[in-house]
Amino acid sequence: MRGVEIRDATVEDAEAACEVTRRSIVELCVADHQNDAAVLALWLGNKTRDNFAAWMTHQNNTFLVAVEQGVVVGIGALTDAGEITLNYVSPDARFRGVSRALLGALESRARQQRNTRCTLISTETAHRFYRDSGYTDDKSLAFNSTSGHPMSKPLAPTIV
């Protein structure tokens, strides 16, 4: 993807990553929250700069940012167990391949960590995107969530 760099996030990216995530949820995930203030408040409640900084420095997380002309336009996160916990794009960068590039980088990192599959809980908004990216609905996954679509994808080994 031309002009966008995917790199490891730093604590200095926490505020921008938080803002991208919050804007993405509010502006792009309407199919999920239906502009319900209570639902949005719950979803956004832990999306603070301080929480992002803590998540970014947690030993078992990988945080990546997509940066275009010095501006964070996407955020992705992965646990060491291969669970993708975040993949959000700025509304200003939607449909430009940022989420797909972040997903590819997260999957590559999961392979480097010797994971044989990635798991995630998809929003309604992103469900088709993940299906088109090779993920399948996986009701066997025991996520602590009452909403969203538990999904997984086997990862082909990295060939050296």
The model's pLDDT over 43-53, given as tens digits with 9 standing for 90+, comes to 999 999 999 99
Distant-in-sequence contacts of 40-48, Cβ < 8 A, 24+ apart:
47/18, 47/21, 47/22, 48/18
Q: How confident is the model at residue 1 (pLDDT cuts 50, 70, 90)?
A: low
Q: Which domains does the chain carry?
A: 4-154 (3.40.630.30)
pLDDT at 148: 86
DSSP codes of every residue in 18-46: HHHHHHIIIII-HHHHTT-HHHHHHHHTT
Mean pLDDT of 96-101: 94
Residue 159 pLDDT greater than 70, yes or no: no
If you average pLDDT over every residue of the chain, what do you get?
Answer: 91
Q: How confident is the model at residue 158 (pLDDT cuts 50, 70, 90)?
A: low
Q: CA-CA distance, 48 to 80, in Å (whole number)?
A: 23
The model's pLDDT over 102-148, given as tens digits with 9 standing for 90+, comes to 999 999 999 999 999 999 999 999 999 999 999 999 876 655 555 68
Q: What is the dihedral of CA 27, 32, 34, 35, to 10 degrees?
A: -40
pLDDT at 105: 97
